[in-house]
Structure 1
């Protein structure tokens, strides 16, 4: 049977500020991308989220972003490839300490927000990120926007890559995500989002905001956990995928099965 990974960004609370319903969402996903303290998260949240993922047998990924708590890592900040490399090393290393201390294993790395989107187009940034992941552990899986420069950089270093697609985001003609500043960037209708996901999985195509259909590969589906109805949508998406005959399983679990 066909298998698909359902991932969600988690551990994005900070201090007394709570963001996302991680304890409810964890029941419906197969991979958790845990914030590493720069765009969101803090040490206590990192530890708790690692434990939560382990308790539910969910694959753990590092979710490093730009050093921008105020902007939640979604503002473009000009950085050099060397700075990108160091950002990755520092944040992944911090999360890895918590994972190791809890008896777990780091499965993948997925850059966050603006850093993710910048690396999708910028070959040098993508190369620096992929190189950092490779240097930390060549067995790690690099998540990136389907068909992007980040995926290509990961393949160049011999990393296993996961082409990521988004359930609740619209696409541009070049395969990039529609900028959040655009009024049509986010899909709010759950049925439309599920239909888009099914199209991406079964046909390896997606309809852009201009109506064109473009090719893309879907290894993993991203669900955003900070929406008002995130838990209900995650449940609905999970059921829809399984009803379509798909097995929900993390990328690394697919490899070992």
Structure 2
């Protein structure tokens, strides 16, 4: 088993003078950055600054498209036609590629955000629409998929390059989807607990649900949410725990 793994975080989610997250600090810990593309969060100036900082830190850049829902931070479900959905993803990926190029970098992966990601994790056809649209723009993309969900099945059906993701700070249902944020056990706030849990999952090659179910899974990357107050502490704790166990942190 390879002892290399990627550590990713969602970022670039500030908007104008309104600041979200601790991007500059987290970029010194993670190896991949999922940058908001202006629909659920972010704006051109934030994208530019985030991508420039990622390039400076040697962090891999990813596009992080979501629903056009600034007020709800992309966490509210929206019903779209397949055409609308594909255009939503392609538009945001195009913006990310342009801003990354301007910063001297390159978009290497794509990860769906929020409600869009959760819906695609439940619905393989929807995931496929999103991924086909993204690959039509950039066929070399790595699709970052939630492990053992419809996202992974869609990527496999498309014979695309993909990386399987687990979450350091989120609880799992028995079908490997994430526990809804409105339910108990959805979020993990303690940095030491999150780090120990991550190490247990990657050493076991499995996801563990909040009900104790073990779900064997390929694990290529670990996600940290950058918008919580404990995000930086969790990032540092996870990295320290993994490196202490002999894992090498490296971009996808």
Q: TM-score w.r.t. structure 2 length?
A: 0.96
In the TM superposition, what are the counterparts of 1:231-242 in structure 2 within 5 Å? Answer: 231-242=232-243
Unaligned 5+ runs, structure 1: 252-257
Q: How many residues align?
A: 251
In the TM superposition, what are the counterparts of 1:191-210 in structure 2 within 5 Å? Answer: 191-210=192-211
In the TM superposition, what are the counterparts of 1:28-39 in structure 2 within 5 Å? Answer: 28-39=29-40
- C-alpha offsets along residues 166-223 of structure 1, whole Å, 9 cap, x if unaligned? 0011111111111101021101222221122112111112322222222222110000
Q: Secondary structure at the match of 1:4?
A: strand
Question: Greater shift after overlay, 156-165 or 55-64?
Answer: 156-165
Residues 38 and 64, structure 1, Cα contact 8 Å, conserved in 2: yes
Q: Secondary structure at the match of 1:214?
A: strand
Q: C-alpha displacement at 1:235, in angstroms?
A: 1.2
Q: C-alpha displacement at 1:234, in angstroms?
A: 1.1
- C-alpha offsets along residues 59-99 of structure 1, whole Å, 9 cap, x if unaligned? 00000000100000011111222211100111011111111
Residues 142 and 154, structure 1, Cα contact 8 Å, conserved in 2: yes
Moved over 6 A (4+): none
Residues 138 and 158, structure 1, Cα contact 8 Å, conserved in 2: no
Partner of 1:26: 27
Residues 166 and 207, structure 2, Cα contact 8 Å, conserved in 1: no
Q: Whole-Å Cα distance in 2 between the matches of residues 35 and 56 of structure 1?
A: 18
Q: Whole-Å Cα distance in 1 between the matches of residues 190 and 159 of structure 2?
A: 38
Taking only aligned residues, the RMSD between alpha carbons, in angstroms, comes to: 1.1
In the TM superposition, what are the counterparts of 1:85-100 in structure 2 within 5 Å? Answer: 85-100=86-101
Q: TM-score w.r.t. structure 1 length?
A: 0.94
Partner of 1:217: 218
Question: Greater shift after overlay, 240-249 or 205-214?
Answer: 205-214
Unaligned 5+ runs, structure 2: none
Residues 39 and 67, structure 2, Cα contact 8 Å, conserved in 1: yes
Change (3 A) 1:155 1:207: closer
Pair 1:49 & 2:50 matched: yes
